[in-house]
Amino acid sequence: MYAKVVVDVNAKRVDKLFDYAVPEQLTDILTVGMRVVVPFGPRKIQGYIIELVDEMHDKPLKSILHIQDMTPELNRELIQLSEWMQQTHIAKRIAVLDIMLPRAVKGKYHKVYRLEEPESISDELYPMFSQNIVRINTLSADDIKALQPYIKDGIVTEDVEVKQQQKVKTVKAVECNVSNLDDALDSLRSDKQKSCLMMIYDEGMLTLKALKEQGYSSAVVNGLVAKNMLKKIDIEDNRDPYRHRDFVQDSKKILRDEQQTAYTAIRQAIDEETHEVFLLHGITGSGKTEVYLQTIADVLDKGQSALMLVPEIALTPQMVERFKARFGDLVAVMHSGLSMGERYDEWRKIRKGEAKVCVGARSSVFAPFDNLGLIIIDEEHEASYKQEDYPRYHARDIALWRGDYHHCPVILGSATPSLESYARAEKGVYRLLTLTKRANQFPVPSVNVVNMRDELAAGNRSMFSEVLASAINDRIQKGEQIVLFLNRRGHAQFLLCRDCGHVPNCPNCDISLTYHKATDELKCHYCGHKEHKPLTCPNCDSEHIREMGIGTQKVEELIYQHFEGAKVIRMDNDTTSRKGAHEQLLEKFKNQEANILLGTQMIAKGLDFPNITLVGVLNADTMLNLPDFRSSERTFQLLTQVSGRAGRADKEGHVIIQTYNPEHYAIQYAKNNDFLGFYREEMSYRKIGKYPPYYYLINLTFSHTDMKEVLLESKHIHQTLLNHLSPSSYVLGPAPCAIARINNQYRFQIIIKFKSEPELLKALTYLDDYYYDQFVKNKFSLSIDINPQMLM
């Protein structure tokens, strides 16, 4: 018997299966999906068993050294999925496996010295070994030098210890080891030991901690262990991040007609175990979540599991609470706030079948359920479902694959579906379910678009239009709450010389430097370059060099200047980077500790506070003007999303959108809450521009320090693509990227637009292989983004 193994080496050259002999003693234990340690050249590394072959190999093989775990980390589905991803996403198998598994199982390598002949070593060096082994990282350079002669003589050998990042947490416990209780009790003298044994006999097993709390000291327990009546064992302990929280049991709510229709349709697919994809298009507050909860309940009743994906940012305590309240301990929650160990424990709860529901962000789409009955992707249109760095994947694609594998329905839910999904629903590929009414029957908020050009003409040069300023004052007086939205991440301010127009740029990248007030420095967000803020213009020496572009931090200052009685909570990358900060700030706002919540996109979701009656969008244009074909869609989604924050309770909500482009269709349709209108108009532009959903896109970005090199290679790439693709496809470019140089690397891109190209993956795989060698030799790098979310 031999095994096909993926080795833990992240390199293209070894991105294949290696065959290893299975040693006699492992033949019965070894299963597919297990992690093993194998010799690899002169090294010793971790690997995953992909396949076991029950035949003799024609060549002599090296042998698997040992196994890393008793239960396989991967199941057959994930192995199959990883192969599919490797082929369709042009990614290395090991890189795919790495993102599918919790980081805790990733191999960790330590070089160790092993003392082979303890009697032959000097007395000074002997103490540094414990059990004849010492780790290299605990030794000083001098120690290592002193060991060298012994290594030469074979008294000490070098070895590698392969461990995982994080261990399974265990607690000490004892289990009962007697078959006849009465006989055992008769032989005991101590009453304490007798009652202790009886208790454990009843329970089968108890932790030492629990016994201590019952008044049985370790002396009592150890006495029984010595008599072989109890056996010490280690049991797994779960780090449950929510163990200190109590959740109020929540029960089903009655569904209204639209919800009921949607529920019935999904229910049927669940019962029939068909892989049907539903697009649940429901406006904010229409009760999508209740539909999710009830369909999940049905899946659980059938003895199956359910997976629910939400954007990271929407994974708020309120959301988690709702699931915990309905399904209790059956829920595993996975988000970025968990420690590596907590994440691993949640993962294992799912794998062992203890958790039947998983609520989590993007990477949870790989949750190791083996009997999935339903997959839900909430806020289906969110860009965060696409992993933007290698290996690039879209959670929606993975969910659809898994839905097909498990023969289970997939629900894509959104108030503003992506054009791709809605178009598929129109074509009948997905089944459209619509929720048009707010569950609580509250009126949709009124939306007011303010033309900032008029404000400027009227002499108002501040951030706040007349309408918005008076509305803010009004709400402050009434004691109501306000959400202000500034679509500028962090505080991307730059410097501008008012005399000569000079903007300080990064010396390594073609982008302006960002001003950071906290450190009074100019920073480049792409390469990390930093410099002190100049006092005068580096170009003309003028003193009129000013900060331009307003960030959240600046707006906070302005609010305090303009509005009496304002109390602001600011939420952006700077104030929420600390663990739990996001939650804390929202809690403060909920408790009315502030009347204005000011933030970036992160506040567009998940807040559901009754006292918010005004939502202001300070500048709707920043996103609209990005050079990307999805900018209108993103703007429409965001404005709709933000507007949904107002007037959810008995007070009427009001939304004010400030813009320099009031007539833009994305803003107008958002104002009128008209998804379908927006969809139709945007689709017509996509058709003319040959963009998704009419065409699929591939974005190839390549870079090198020498521009000539980039231009030369880009011709080769372009020609290769033309040779492989049919005439109905378009190969655009090469053209410089929106940021043409990053870290002194010149960047160009080629965009492929196509409808159907059976040979495309082959061509891309060829390019990926070819340019991997080029990268090794020449530092020319190529990255391939299939179905890009952004073209920048």
Partner DNA sequence: AGCACGCCGACT
Partner DNA sequence: GTCGGCGTGCTC
524 is in an annotated binding site: yes
Interface segment toward DNA; rule CB under 7 A; list 54-62, 308-316, 342-350, 430-438: 54-62
544: part of which helix (H) or strand (E)? none
State residue 698 phi and psi, 5-degree precision.
-130, 135
Could you give the string, one character per residue 737-776, with x where binding to DNA holds by CB under 7 A and - elsewhere? ---------------------------------------x
Of residues 36 and 537, the one with the C-beta less far from DNA: 36
For residue 443, is the peptide bond before it cis, meaning its omega torsion is within 30 degrees of 0? no
Cα separation, 713 vs 715, in Å, equals 5
537 is in an annotated binding site: yes
531: part of which helix (H) or strand (E)? strand 530-532
Residues composing the chain: 792
Of residues 652 and 706, the one with the C-beta less far from DNA: 706
Interface segment toward DNA; rule CB under 7 A; list 38-46, 353-361, 427-435, 744-752: 38-46
Of residues 51 and 202, the one with the C-beta less far from DNA: 51
Packed helices 419-427 and 675-689: angle between N→C axes, nearest 10 degrees: 100
DSSP 9: -
Q: Which residues are within 8 A (CB) of 311 and not within 5 positions of it... i.e. 6 or more apart?
A: 361, 378, 379, 382, 384, 385, 605
Of residues 18 and 660, the one with the C-beta less far from DNA: 18
CB 433 within 8 A of CB 442: no
Q: Based on the shown chain and the rule CB under 7 A, indicate whether residue 20 belongs to the binding site for DNA.
A: yes
Shortest Å, Cβ 43 to DNA = 5
**Buried-exposed string 313-330: b where 16+ CB fall within 10 A, e elsewhere:** bbbbbebbebbbbbbeeb
Q: What angle do CA 573, 577, 581 make, to 5 degrees?
A: 110
Shortest Å, Cβ 339 to DNA = 24
Of residues 8 and 713, the one with the C-beta less far from DNA: 8
State residue 714 phi and psi, 5-degree precision.
-65, -30
For residue 122, what are its two tokens? 């000097």
Shortest Å, Cβ 776 to DNA = 7
Shortest Å, Cβ 673 to DNA = 51
Q: Based on the shown chain and the rule CB under 7 A, indicate whether residue 548 belongs to the binding site for DNA.
A: no
Cα separation, 522 vs 503, in Å, equals 11
Shortest Å, Cβ 528 to DNA = 21
Cα separation, 361 vs 378, in Å, equals 10
Interface segment toward DNA; rule CB under 7 A; list 57-65, 375-383, 413-421, 690-698: 57-65
Interface segment toward DNA; rule CB under 7 A; list 18-26, 285-293, 310-318, 461-469: 18-26
Distance of CA 274 to the CA centre of its chain: 28
Q: Based on the shown chain and the rule CB under 7 A, indicate whether residue 41 belongs to the binding site for DNA.
A: yes
Shortest Å, Cβ 106 to DNA = 12
Shortest Å, Cβ 23 to DNA = 12
Q: Which of 34, 37, 40, 196 lies at the binding interface for DNA (CB under 7 A)? A: 40
Neighbours of 38 (CB within 10 A): 22
Q: Based on the shown chain and the rule CB under 7 A, indicate whether residue 469 belongs to the binding site for DNA.
A: no
Neighbours of 75 (CB within 10 A): 16
Of residues 165 and 451, the one with the C-beta less far from DNA: 165
Which three-class secondary structure state does DSSP give residue 588? helix
DSSP 763: H
Q: Which of 62, 135, 231, 755 lies at the binding interface for DNA (CB under 7 A)? A: 62
Q: Based on the shown chain and the rule CB under 7 A, indicate whether residue 161 belongs to the binding site for DNA.
A: no
Q: Which of 27, 29, 43, 730 lies at the binding interface for DNA (CB under 7 A)? A: 43
Q: Based on the shown chain and the rule CB under 7 A, indicate whether residue 157 belongs to the binding site for DNA.
A: no
Shortest Å, Cβ 19 to DNA = 3
Of residues 103 and 529, the one with the C-beta less far from DNA: 103
Q: Based on the shown chain and the rule CB under 7 A, indicate whether residue 112 belongs to the binding site for DNA.
A: no
Shortest Å, Cβ 750 to DNA = 24
Q: Based on the shown chain and the rule CB under 7 A, indicate whether residue 10 belongs to the binding site for DNA.
A: yes
Interface segment toward DNA; rule CB under 7 A; list 35-43, 99-107, 204-212, 575-583: 35-43
Q: Based on the shown chain and the rule CB under 7 A, indicate whether residue 390 belongs to the binding site for DNA.
A: no
For residue 677, what are its two tokens? 């209108």
Of residues 18 and 694, the one with the C-beta less far from DNA: 18
Q: Which residues are within 8 A (CB) of 330 and not within 5 positions of it... i.e. 6 or more apart?
A: 300, 355, 356, 357
Number of amino acids touching DNA (CB under 7 A) = 22
Shortest Å, Cβ 778 to DNA = 10
527 is in an annotated binding site: yes
506 is in an annotated binding site: yes
Q: Based on the shown chain and the rule CB under 7 A, indicate whether residue 13 belongs to the binding site for DNA.
A: yes
Q: Which residues are within 8 A (CB) of 75 and not within 5 positions of it... i.e. 6 or more apart?
A: 33, 351, 368, 370
Three-class HEC string of 327-381? HHHHEEEECCCCCHHHHHHHHHHHHCCCCCEEEECHHHHHCCCCCEEEEEECCCC
Name the pairing type of β-strands 410-414 and 372-377.
Answer: parallel
Cα separation, 723 vs 726, in Å, equals 8
Name the pairing type of β-strands 230-236 and 170-176.
Answer: antiparallel
Nearest to 495 by CA among 566, 457, 449, 543: 543
Cα separation, 20 vs 17, in Å, equals 10
Shortest Å, Cβ 617 to DNA = 45
At residue 197, what is the residue type?
A: L
Q: Based on the shown chain and the rule CB under 7 A, indicate whether residue 50 belongs to the binding site for DNA.
A: no
Q: Which of 32, 39, 222, 631 lies at the binding interface for DNA (CB under 7 A)? A: 39
Shortest Å, Cβ 111 to DNA = 8
608: part of which helix (H) or strand (E)? none
Interface segment toward DNA; rule CB under 7 A; list 15-23, 166-174, 241-249, 305-313: 15-23
Of residues 20 and 113, the one with the C-beta less far from DNA: 20
Interface segment toward DNA; rule CB under 7 A; list 37-45, 248-256, 283-291, 475-483: 37-45
Of residues 159 and 202, the one with the C-beta less far from DNA: 159
Shortest Å, Cβ 712 to DNA = 20
Shortest Å, Cβ 124 to DNA = 24
CB 667 within 8 A of CB 659: yes
Q: Based on the shown chain and the rule CB under 7 A, indicate whether residue 61 belongs to the binding site for DNA.
A: yes
For the chain, what is the total number of helices (H) and then of strands (E)? 24, 33
Interface segment toward DNA; rule CB under 7 A; list 19-27, 508-516, 610-618, 643-651: 19-27
Q: Based on the shown chain and the rule CB under 7 A, indicate whether residue 19 belongs to the binding site for DNA.
A: yes
Q: Based on the shown chain and the rule CB under 7 A, indicate whether residue 95 belongs to the binding site for DNA.
A: no
Nearest to 449 by CA among 462, 473, 475, 468: 468
Which three-class secondary structure state does DSSP give residue 584? helix
Of residues 532 and 777, the one with the C-beta less far from DNA: 777
Shortest Å, Cβ 714 to DNA = 23
Q: Which of 24, 25, 28, 42 lies at the binding interface for DNA (CB under 7 A)? A: 42
Q: Which residues are within 8 A (CB) of 65 and not within 5 positions of it... i.e. 6 or more apart?
A: 36, 37, 38, 39, 44
Q: Based on the shown chain and the rule CB under 7 A, indicate whether residue 14 belongs to the binding site for DNA.
A: yes
Residues within the interface to DNA (CB under 7 A)? 9-14, 16, 18-21, 38-43, 59, 61-62, 776-777
Q: Which residues are documented as binding site for Zn(2+)?
A: 497, 500, 506, 509, 524, 527, 537, 540
Q: Summarize the annotated binding site as residue ranges.
A: 497, 500, 506, 509, 524, 527, 537, 540
